Amino acid sequence: MIDTSRADDSRDGKLFDEDEGVGYGALLDRESDEHFMRIALRQAAEAFEKDEVPVGAVIVRRGTVIGAAHNGRETLKDPTAHAEMLAITQAAAAVDDWRLNGCTLYVTLEPCPMCAGALVLARVDRVVFGTWDPKGGAVGSLYRIGEDERLNHRFQVTSGVMQPDCAEILTEFFRRKRAAGKK
Ligand SMILES: [Zn+2]
């Protein structure tokens, strides 16, 4: 459950419940990135349990999680129900504004072209992803949508945060799928 009530007054609060004394500037630290990637990984694990391709995403503003979702294509029967899209919708509702300036999106798998486009439209500051998607990634692998100067907004990209964990859950999911298919 996301505590959206903290979205507007987070400046006064602690950044993390368990990590007192971490300053805002330190949000760029690898430690902070791993902290939020772990939350995204928990979302991916929830997707795994629901037999959804295990990808999880969280959106953070001023150290507070304002959106957290996992892929829901099967459950929602919606090709656009990627973790990032659902997290963007939640975050926008939490801040009551479609503009997500000042926000960082953490996602376990490199965003696809649709999600990278949505992240440009949402005007996020930064995207942090775990593992690369060589067949569909749009923020480094196939395209660099967030860094394309022809578009009217750009975001910073950090890749490979907790890469082995983010890749492993996907590998395990598809390994089980293949094993089940052979029965
Ligand atoms: Zn996507």
Instruction: Render 42-101 in DSSP notation, one character per residue.
Output: HHHHHHHHTTS---EEEEEETTEEEEEEE--HHHHT-TT--HHHHHHHHHHHHHTSS--T
Give catalytic residues, as residue numbers. Answer: 84
Contact predicate 127/156, CB 8 Å: yes
pTM of the complete model: 0.84
**For the chain, which ranges sit under pLDDT 70?**
1-28, 183
Q: How far is the CA of 26 from the centre of ligand 1 (A)?
A: 28
pLDDT for 31 equals: 85
First to last CA, the chain: 37
pLDDT for 77 equals: 98
Q: How far is the CA of 19 from the centre of ligand 1 (A)?
A: 31
Q: How far is the CA of 23 from the centre of ligand 1 (A)?
A: 31
pLDDT in tens, 27-56: 457 889 999 999 999 999 999 999 999 999
Q: Among positive and negative, which fits the CA dihedral 5, 52, 80, 157?
A: positive
pLDDT for 14 equals: 39
pLDDT for 18 equals: 42
**DSSP SS3 for 109:** strand
